[in-house]
Amino acid sequence: MGDQNTPLTEADARQMIRRCGFGIPAKDSKKFRVEELAQLTRGEAADLFVDFKPKGFKPKSSEARAAHDKWVKYMFKRKKSLALQEKLVVFLHDHFATNFSGLDARIDSEKTSVKALAEQNGTLRKNCLGSFKDLVKLINVDVAMMWFLDTVFNKKFEPNENYGRELLELFTLGVKDLNGNENYLQEDVIQVSRAFTGWVDDSFRAGKSFLDPFEHDTTAEFPGRGLKEIFGVVHPTQGHQVGGFVSPQSFIVGGEAENEIDEVVEILFQHTDSDGENTVARHLTFKLLEYFCYEGPDKATIDAIIASSGFTTTWELKALLREIFVHDIFFETGAVPGASTKKSVRWPIDYVLGTLRALRVQPKGKELQLQGGNFNDVIELLEDMGQVVLEPPSVFGWDTEQAWISSVGLLARYEFVRDVTTSRDSKPFKPEKLIDLTLTTAGEIVDAVTDQLGVTDQLTAAQRQAMIDFMLAGESEPLDLFDVDFREEKLHGLYALVLQSPAVVLF
Amino acid sequence: MAITRRQFLKRSGAVAAGSALGPGLFGNPFVRTALSETIGDRYLIVMLLDGGNDGLNTVTPVDNQGGTLRTNYEGWRNAGSGGIRLLPGELAATGIDPDPNTGANLALHPGFIGSGAGAGGLKALYDLGKVAVVQGCGYPEANLSHAVSSGIWETGDPLGLGIGYGGTGWVGRYLADPTTGYGGTDIPAVNISSSVAAEYRQTGTSVIAVSRLRRFGFPFDKQNDNGTQLQEYEDAFLAIHAEASASAQPGVAQAGDAGSSTFSASQSYPALHNLYNDDPDRAVFEALYPNSSTGRDLKEIAKIIHGVETGQPDIDARHFWLRNGGYDTHSNEGGATGDHANLHNEVASAIKVFWDDITDMGAEDKVCILIWSEFSRRIQQNASGTDHGSQGPMFLIGGKVNGGVYGNHPNIDPAAVDSKPNTIYSQDPLDPFRSTDFRDVYGTVLNHWLNMPPGVILPNVLTLDTGFPVNTYWTVADLDLPLFVP
């Protein structure tokens, strides 16, 4: 068992660099190099990554495609621990998933839809280390979300449950707790949805939202809909109220007006599951651990991290993240692949940015065009890999792990690698700047490349041998890396083999 | 009067030859043997209407006849601005057989008549007797979450009891069953998608996901081909992935397998694109497919079927999956025109062209398309759309499908719905509106189309509900619906 005082190994340091950002460019601040990080304890290193002041960037544009490319470019350029900022924004964008197509279909204006999405993106960024509870309250009245999940169509005579349901199911509680017990009932969805009736987007106030009292459902006007309270119904099979509550929770104690939606959030954040643990804290921590570590973290780990972070008191994301980054679970996956290690499939955006940064290749122009192979724009390959930011497939966000390594997704990764590594002459990828050209044996060259990509310890002897065989096919030692033709054929090829291998595709 | 299950699922309409012969025919050992000899030639295409398709505006009562369906329908669905009601005049061209229970005349959504090269759409195929409409498909206590309900349909596990499915899908378990004989490197199924759908998941054999065949080749660095370089690269790539496949770490092993099978498929599948386009008979149809997501996806399936039918080496996919998204019509659903109509039009037009294409190939009797959605929608509309609902219709389409209307229209009487209001799933033998378990349709497909004993794939997980006043769960599935002609 390690803790915050445990010294980092070099493998641990590589793990932090891979996971707390999209890989750190070699040119970046010295503090973030493997050899420097390996001088620190886990706690010191975690502080280095989480101590940053979020920037106010918003990917603004009149076109969705341009906004996408702007954000990708911004992510690519973030240095040092600001890479963690973007990694968190991607996580929150997946958690509060909102997509351009859904907005455009409802708003019927590309410009307005992109503007709303950019504002939401800025909100996520600004709040990525702060209180999660406050963030949920901001999302309640976020204009993009209000359109995407139909709050703007939620009127007193015909309430619309779309947002109310997802607030419970996805953003806070989850359908079921870790023991498989339901966290809420349909009645709760109905009542929560009443709180949101009448909230609209005021286009005259540039993306500000407000409550239209004439469209708001009140108990006086709709007595037949019952009291505005949640978690008061006895669950048919559990035999008691859900959420650990012993009486119905009214969300109109402060009156029937704007405050209702904040009070709903306050109640949700007090909900406890069938183990008596805070449901929101467990739900979010579970998802963060899947994002930063691996699928299916266990209860004991989740609870320990919540407890030591004080999350259920402050709801501060920064404290929660720090506890994740010093916990054993975070470092377990960095080990040499063995039966007991757990691996995760890298998200496409991570794979793309990590590769570009490691190779010090910057795609060309606003369109982020690659300079080899089919000269694809980055977005074309990301689309086939299954991840276009600002366009998650639905409110459920992206389908991860196995879904990322479908044949379509893999071929897109392979093609991306080909397009990056086949760039020639003075084109961006210059392995001669990354590798010592005086090396003459295949073994030394393979080790140099896998070291530069930080995956030497992720390869088996047989895989290393396959790479050596590739280098030596039709050649004999001493090899000459100063020979441009040899380099372009073999060294570029070797880079492609490593980048396409499970050592890089998986964390 | 006790209504037996078979009677409740009686087929309505005049063309009753299939059901007259009766499902007992399939029990005949000679027929079963004869079937099994052709089983290997059959295709199954599963299509998802993603988001929760509004069943009440998909198979719609046109009148009341012996019940009150139309009156109830008009009570829930508004006419005029924001209204989604389908008027009798708008349903005049898409009539189908009546509801077996109430005798009410039914019609498909007018969008199902298709347009352009796909004009006629599903209605035309219905009139040919090739479409089975199965009403009221669902499961007890409908879950209104997209994710949970999709999961129930994909696994075939209505109560989520976790009886050892291990995240596998119902089609996946069929593919992985030892009796199907598919090995780890075989590719019996292709999903037209960027990822493999949950109902195809398993670990026994390879299912590949393909968006467009044309772009499915392995991206070699051909600039650098000195004659042997590509082979050297291939050798190294395959050796690295084979080594990963042997890893004790399951994730690494899976990534190794995925890399290897992707590589092999990338060597055989892309050629199907040109093979199809260069065949003058196929090129005629190639030009007819609508330029819509469903049209493009079905065209890719047609290319693969063409490859199988013409005996291309290493091509033997028999199972396909595709989806059409956008059915989560909380707002702007529309009636005879609008979002929902456009979605149905897209599906119907594309399927009609696909049907014409495979018929021209002579493969129509080998193809069965199963269409499902994770739930139907709220009976009562909101301002301009519908929230999540319960049971809804499924469709089977194919040359050997015994066309007609099966199952009962759900009971939408205000006195019979729940508080949301949604229709209530019922297996009460005394209920004339008795529902259809969605697994009855899966089971019948397994039983009579794929010749697989359904119990192997769909264990009976529903326990007897002793609730008052009647038991509403079923415990013995009816997997012998007369949905196929012998």
How far is the C-alpha of A160 from the C-alpha of B332, rounded, in Å? Answer: 12
Q: Are A91 and A291 a contacting pair, CB within 8 Å?
A: yes
How far is the C-alpha of A463 from the C-alpha of B242, rounded, in Å? Answer: 9
Tokens encoding A120: 């939401």
How far is the C-alpha of A162 from the C-alpha of A151, rounded, in Å? Answer: 7
Q: How confident is the model at residue B15 (pLDDT cuts 50, 70, 90)?
A: very low
Q: In this structure, which amino acid lies at residue A153?
A: F
A–B interface: beta-carbon pairs under 8 A: 203
Tokens encoding A33: 């190099």
Instruction: Give the CA count within 13 Å in the CB-facing half-sphere of A186.
Output: 16
Residue B8 has pLDDT above 50, yes or no: no
Tokens encoding B117: 């090269």
CA B453-B459-B464 angle, to 5 degrees, is 130
Closest residue by Cα to residue A245 from A256, A259, A235: A235
Q: What is the pLDDT of residue A285?
A: 98
Q: How confident is the model at residue B429 (pLDDT cuts 50, 70, 90)?
A: confident
Tokens encoding A45: 């290193």
CA B317-B322-B328 angle, to 5 degrees, is 165
> Which residues pair with residue B368 across a beta bridge?
B44, B398
Over the stretch A20-59, which tens digit does the pLDDT of each residue have? 988 866 566 778 888 899 999 999 999 999 999 999 999 9
Q: Are B133 and B395 a contacting pair, CB within 8 Å?
A: yes
> Which residues pair with residue A241 across a beta bridge?
A234
Of A155, A411, A473, the CB nearest to B262: A411
| Chain A contact set for B256 (CB, 8 A) | 502
Answer positive or negative: Cα dihedral of B342, B348, B352, B357.
Answer: positive
SS3 B320: strand
Closest residue by Cα to residue A67 from A88, A91, A92, A93: A93
Cis ω on the peptide bond leading into residue B454 (within 30° of 0)? no
Best residue of B76, B240, B243 to probe chain A, by most A CBs closer than 10 Å = B240
Q: Are B45 and B85 a contacting pair, CB within 8 Å?
A: no
B424 DSSP assignment? P
Residue B346 has pLDDT above 80, yes or no: yes
Q: What is the pLDDT of residue B481?
A: 85
How confident is the model over B190-196, as a mean pLDDT?
87
Strands (DSSP E) found in A188-301: 199-202, 208-211, 229-230, 249-250
How confident is the model over B141-156, as a mean pLDDT?
85
pLDDT tens, N- to C-terminus, chain A (507 residues) = 789 999 999 989 988 988 998 886 656 677 888 889 999 999 999 999 999 999 999 999 999 999 999 999 999 888 766 789 999 999 999 999 999 988 987 888 889 999 999 999 999 999 999 999 999 999 999 999 999 999 999 999 988 999 999 999 999 999 999 998 999 998 999 999 999 999 998 765 556 899 999 999 999 999 999 999 999 999 888 889 999 999 999 999 999 999 999 999 999 999 999 999 999 999 999 999 999 998 889 999 999 999 999 999 999 999 999 999 999 999 887 666 666 778 889 999 999 999 999 998 989 888 899 988 888 899 988 988 989 999 998 898 998 887 888 888 899 999 999 999 986 665 789 999 999 999 999 999 999 999 999 899 889 999 999 999 999 999 999 999 999 889 988 999 999 999 999 999 998
Whether residue A189 and residue B237 make contact (CB cut-off 8 A), yes or no, is no
Tokens encoding A196: 């949101």
Question: Is the model more confident about B462 or about B286?
Answer: B286
Q: Are B433 and B101 a contacting pair, CB within 8 Å?
A: yes
Whether residue B224 and residue A407 make contact (CB cut-off 8 A), yes or no, is no
Best residue of B205, B243, B379, B472 to probe chain A, by most A CBs closer than 10 Å = B243
Q: Are B119 and B113 a contacting pair, CB within 8 Å?
A: yes
Of B145, B235, B249, the CB nearest to A339: B249
Whether residue B236 and residue A469 make contact (CB cut-off 8 A), yes or no, is yes
Of A153, A165, A421, the CB nearest to B331: A153
Q: Are B301 and B354 a contacting pair, CB within 8 Å?
A: yes
Whether residue B219 and residue A488 make contact (CB cut-off 8 A), yes or no, is no
How confident is the model over B154-166, as a mean pLDDT?
64
Residue B10 has pLDDT above 60, yes or no: no
The alpha carbons of chain B give a radius of gyration, in whole angstroms, of 23
Of A160, A180, A488, the CB nearest to B382: A160
| Chain A contact set for B226 (CB, 8 A) | 474, 489
Tokens encoding B6: 């078979």
Cis ω on the peptide bond leading into residue B421 (within 30° of 0)? yes
**What is the per-residue burial (b if ≥16 Cβ within 10 Å, else e) of B234-245?**
eebbebbbbbbb
Query: Which residues 408-427 in chain B show a CB within 8 A of chain A?
Result: 420
Residue B439 has pLDDT above 60, yes or no: yes
Whether residue A409 and residue B194 make contact (CB cut-off 8 A), yes or no, is yes
Cβ-based neighbour number of residue A340 at 10 Å: 9
| Chain A contact set for B202 (CB, 8 A) | none
Whether residue B216 and residue A343 make contact (CB cut-off 8 A), yes or no, is no
Query: Which residues 318-357 in chain B show a CB within 8 A of chain A?
Result: 325-326, 328, 330-332, 339
Q: What is the pLDDT of residue A373?
A: 83
How far is the C-alpha of A165 from the C-alpha of A367, rounded, in Å? Answer: 38
Whether residue A470 and residue B255 make contact (CB cut-off 8 A), yes or no, is no
Best residue of B331, B424, B463 to probe chain A, by most A CBs closer than 10 Å = B331
Query: Which residues 375-394 in chain B show a CB within 8 A of chain A?
Result: 381-385, 387-388
Over the stretch A167-219, which tens digit does the pLDDT of each residue have? 999 999 999 999 989 999 989 999 999 999 999 987 655 568 999 999 999 99
* B39 has a chain A CB within 8 A of its CB: no
Q: In this structure, which amino acid lies at residue A245?
A: F
Query: Which residues 192-211 in chain B show a CB within 8 A of chain A?
Result: 193-196, 201, 208-211
Transcribe B169-235 into DSSP letters. -HHHHHHHSGGG---TT---EEEESSS--GGG--SSS-EEEES-GGG-S----GGG--SSHHHHHHH
Q: In this structure, which amino acid lies at residue B339?
A: D
How far is the C-alpha of B89 from the C-alpha of B67, rounded, in Å? Answer: 20
Residue B307 has pLDDT above 90, yes or no: yes
Q: At a CB cut-off of 8 Å and minimum separation 6, what does A203 contact?
A: A112
Transcribe A46-90 into DSSP letters. HHHHH--PPP------SSHHHHHHHHHHHHHH--TTHHHHHHHHH
* B163 has a chain A CB within 8 A of its CB: no
Whether residue A422 and residue B194 make contact (CB cut-off 8 A), yes or no, is no
Alpha-carbon gap: B69 to the closest alpha carbon of chain A (Å): 22
Best residue of B208, B228, B382, B384 to probe chain A, by most A CBs closer than 10 Å = B382
Q: What is the pLDDT of residue A422?
A: 84
Q: What is the pLDDT of residue A81?
A: 61
Q: Are A114 and A61 a contacting pair, CB within 8 Å?
A: yes
Residue B247 phi/psi, 5-degree rounding, is -65, 145
How far is the C-alpha of B199 from the C-alpha of A371, rounded, in Å? Answer: 39
Best residue of B330, B384, B422 to probe chain A, by most A CBs closer than 10 Å = B330
Whether residue A469 and residue B387 make contact (CB cut-off 8 A), yes or no, is no
Q: Is the whole model's pTM more than 0.90, yes or no?
A: no
Cβ-based neighbour number of residue A216 at 10 Å: 21
Whether residue A394 and residue B146 make contact (CB cut-off 8 A), yes or no, is yes
Query: How far apart, in Å, do the first and last CA atoms of chain A sit?
Result: 21
How far is the C-alpha of A458 from the C-alpha of A14, rounded, in Å? Answer: 12
CA B14-B344-B67 angle, to 5 degrees, is 45
| Chain A contact set for B241 (CB, 8 A) | 501-502
| Chain A contact set for B243 (CB, 8 A) | 460, 462-463, 466
**Largest CA-CA distance found in chain B, in angstroms, rounded:** 81
Alpha-carbon gap: A197 to the closest alpha carbon of chain B (Å): 12
| Chain B contact set for A402 (CB, 8 A) | 195-196, 201, 254
Over the stretch B97-120, which tens digit does the pLDDT of each residue have? 999 999 999 999 999 999 999 999
Of A463, A470, A496, the CB nearest to B232: A470
| Chain A contact set for B237 (CB, 8 A) | 497, 500
SS (H, E, C) B339-384: HHHHHHHHHHHHHHHHHHHHHHHCCHHHEEEEEECCCCECCCCCCC
Closest residue by Cα to residue A321 from A295, A292, A347, A298: A292
Whether residue A409 and residue B195 make contact (CB cut-off 8 A), yes or no, is yes
Burial class (CB in 10 A: 0-12, 13-18, 19+), B191: buried
Alpha-carbon gap: A497 to the closest alpha carbon of chain B (Å): 6
Of A175, A337, A489, the CB nearest to B145: A175
Helix axis angle for B229-245 and B250-268, nearest 10°, is: 150
Of A396, A410, A422, the CB nearest to B221: A422
Residue B91 phi/psi, 5-degree rounding, is -100, 0
How far is the C-alpha of B87 from the C-alpha of A103, rounded, in Å? Answer: 30
Residue B135 phi/psi, 5-degree rounding, is -80, 155
Q: How confident is the model at residue B274 (pLDDT cuts 50, 70, 90)?
A: very high
Q: In this structure, which amino acid lies at residue B273?
A: H
Whether residue A153 and residue B388 make contact (CB cut-off 8 A), yes or no, is no
Q: What residue has token string 């010294």?
A: A7
Cis ω on the peptide bond leading into residue A478 (within 30° of 0)? yes
Alpha-carbon gap: B18 to the closest alpha carbon of chain A (Å): 41
Q: What is the pLDDT of residue B75?
A: 97
Alpha-carbon torsion, ordered B446, B449, B450, B455, to 10 deg = 20
Distance of CA B485 to the CA centre of its chain: 19
Q: What is the pLDDT of residue B163?
A: 42
Alpha-carbon gap: A148 to the closest alpha carbon of chain B (Å): 10
Q: How confident is the model at residue B17 (pLDDT cuts 50, 70, 90)?
A: very low
How far is the C-alpha of A410 from the C-alpha of A500, rounded, in Å? Answer: 9
Q: Are A160 and B387 a contacting pair, CB within 8 Å?
A: yes
Whether residue A500 and residue B259 make contact (CB cut-off 8 A), yes or no, is yes
Q: What is the pLDDT of residue B37?
A: 45
* B241 has a chain A CB within 8 A of its CB: yes
What is the ipTM, given to two decimal places?
Answer: 0.93
DSSP H/E element including A318: helix A317-326
Burial class (CB in 10 A: 0-12, 13-18, 19+), B20: exposed
Q: Are B37 and B371 a contacting pair, CB within 8 Å?
A: no
Of A169, A466, A488, the CB nearest to B224: A488
